């Protein structure tokens, strides 16, 4: 099995590459532009393996993508490369439009050209998995869950760009017959997560005794999934999912943000006690503009049709994650020097610059 993964130096992509190379024994080509979010240190476990190679390239660069596909000859393409941070999309959306929309278009066209040249058996077996987010569905009230039939209603430049790319991926299946499957997943957490996102930022700030910023009143609810459970789900979806279908992925682990931060403080206080409870470091700050109130994913299609089950619940996953950060400062210290946790995503008031 030859699998091309885009964005394999990122948070979820690196978990997927480690899983495919080490657990599945697949031949993997990781294509990544190494933006601020890409980190080859996350791939030390596969570095040097005969069934793993890395290509430093941008998915918007059509000639590079065509060469990569022609030389590697993938049976599957798993597309994760994206700009992924909502706050950065609020500060400046250009990279999100370029990578998430134009990059996906470029990759779909490259895949279509490759696929159309395959013999009939290879054509029937080929799959393109477009990896997306539950944020495309917009915001829920107190009740209800996102199903695969929930209408799209994105709020942020990030989720709008992902919604756009989902529509492109589905259109390439309907119009050209390219065997595309789409997955929409809830918020991930776990090892190797860039410390701009809530959970790793909170762990590292709490360890350093720094303030723990929480947006608004901390009431926004996310449905948390351990990243390695997501990697297994993606492998299952591309293996057994039906082309043209969408599969929601979620851990059935809803938590409001302030409870996530409190849970991290409590695990840290137990395993690395400080002189005062870390909860005292919590500080409520101005809310994110357009902040969706609640996400919750109904993953029963994936569970019932493909037999997927998350292995971690939030309590076990968060403890594993905190322990991983405590044991792996070699990975995160260089990143903290580049990005120390300053506030992102407050739109500039004047459009002069
Ligand atoms: P990430 O930001 O950690 O990693 C993105 C990777 O893509 C990085 O390695 C980066 O270098 C690479 N990349 C960015 N632009 C590129 C380009 N133009 N060409 C090639 N490579 C490029 O993101 P993540 O959290 O790992 O998310 C991966 C995918 O999963 C994204 O498509 C995201 O929308 C989706 N997703 C993420 C979450 C989550 O909670 N993180 C949840 C659901 C879905």
Residues 6+ apart with CB under 8 A from 304: none
Query: Residue 348's pLDDT is what?
Result: 64
Domain 2-194+224-252+295-312 has CATH 1.10.10.10: no
Query: Residue 341's pLDDT is what?
Result: 79
CA angle 66-72-75, nearest 5°?
100
Query: Residue 349's pLDDT is what?
Result: 54
Query: Residue 13's pLDDT is what?
Result: 98
Residue 225 in contact with ligand 1 by CB distance below 6 A: no
Question: Domain residue spans in the chain?
Answer: 2-194+224-252+295-312
CA dist 115 and 143 (Å) reads: 43
Query: Residue 254's pLDDT is what?
Result: 97
Pairing label, strands 27-32, 2-6: parallel
84 Cα: distance to centroid of ligand 1 (angstroms): 5
59 Cα: distance to centroid of ligand 1 (angstroms): 12
Residues of the chain with pLDDT under 50: 350-353
Residue 30 in contact with ligand 1 by CB distance below 6 A: no
CA dist 3 and 17 (Å) reads: 9
Q: How many CA atoms lie within 13 A of 249 on its CB side?
A: 29
Query: Residue 73's pLDDT is what?
Result: 98
Query: What does pTM read for this prediction?
Result: 0.97
**Closest residue by CA, ligand 1 atom 29:** 80
CA angle 218-296-261, nearest 5°?
30
Q: Compute how many other C-beta atoms are within 10 angstroms of the C-beta atom of residue 141.
A: 7
- Any idea which residues carry the catalytic annotation? 134-135, 158
Ligand 1 pocket test, pick from 43, 82, 193, 222 with the greatest ligand atom count within 8 Å of Cβ, gives 82
SS3 221: strand
CA 105 to chain centre: 19
Query: Residue 237's pLDDT is what?
Result: 98
Query: Residue 346's pLDDT is what?
Result: 76
Tokens of 135: 């944020």
Ligand 1 pocket test, pick from 35, 136, 169, 299 with the greatest ligand atom count within 8 Å of Cβ, gives 35
Q: Compute how many other C-beta atoms are within 10 angstroms of the C-beta atom of residue 34.
A: 14
Residue 80 in contact with ligand 1 by CB distance below 6 A: yes
Atom of ligand 1 minimally distant from the CA of 39 = 9
Burial of 3 from C-beta contacts in 10 A (0-12 / 13-18 / 19+): buried
């Amino acid at each position: 099995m030859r699998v091309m993964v885009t964005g394999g130096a990122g948070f979820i992509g690196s978990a997927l590459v480690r899983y495919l190379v080490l657990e599945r024994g697949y031949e993997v080509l990781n294509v990544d532009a190494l933006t601020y979010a890409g980190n080859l240190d996350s791939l030390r476990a596969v570095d040097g393996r005969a069934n793993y190679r890395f290509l430093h390239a941008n998915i918007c660069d059509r000639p590079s993508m065509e060469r990569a596909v022609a030389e590697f000859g993938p049976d599957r393409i798993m597309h994760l490369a994206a700009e992924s941070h909502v706050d950065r999309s609020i500060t400046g959306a250009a990279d999100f439009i370029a990578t998430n929309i134009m990059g996906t278009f470029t990759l779909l066209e490259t895949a279509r050209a490759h696929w159309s040249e395959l013999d009939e058996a290879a054509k029937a077996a080929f799959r393109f998995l477009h990896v997306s987010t539950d944020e495309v569905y917009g915001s829920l009230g107190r009740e209800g869950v996102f199903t695969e039939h929930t209408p799209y209603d994105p709020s942020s430049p990030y989720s709008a760009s992902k919604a756009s790319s989902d529509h492109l991926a589905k259109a390439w299946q309907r119009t050209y017959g390219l065997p595309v499957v789409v997955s929409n997943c809830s918020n991930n957490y776990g090892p190797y997560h860039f410390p701009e996102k809530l959970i790793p930022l909170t762990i590292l700030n709490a360890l350093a005794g720094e303030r723990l910023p929480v947006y608004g009143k901390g009431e926004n609810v996310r449905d948390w999934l351990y990243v390695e459970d997501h990697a297994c789900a993606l492998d299952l979806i591309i293996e057994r999912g039906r082309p043209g279908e969408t599969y929601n992925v979620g851990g059935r682990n809803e938590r409001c943000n302030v409870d996530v931060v409190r849970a991290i403080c409590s695990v840290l206080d137990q395993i690395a006690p400080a002189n005062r409870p870390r909860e005292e470091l919590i500080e409520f700050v101005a809310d994110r503009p357009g902040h969706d109130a609640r996400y919750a994913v109904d993953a029963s299609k994936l569970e019932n049709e493909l037999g997927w089950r998350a292995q971690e619940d939030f309590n076990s996953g968060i403890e594993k994650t905190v322990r991983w950060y405590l044991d792996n400062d070699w990975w995160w210290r260089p990143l903290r020097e580049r990005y120390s946790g300053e506030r992102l995503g407050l739109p500039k008031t004047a459009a002069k610059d």
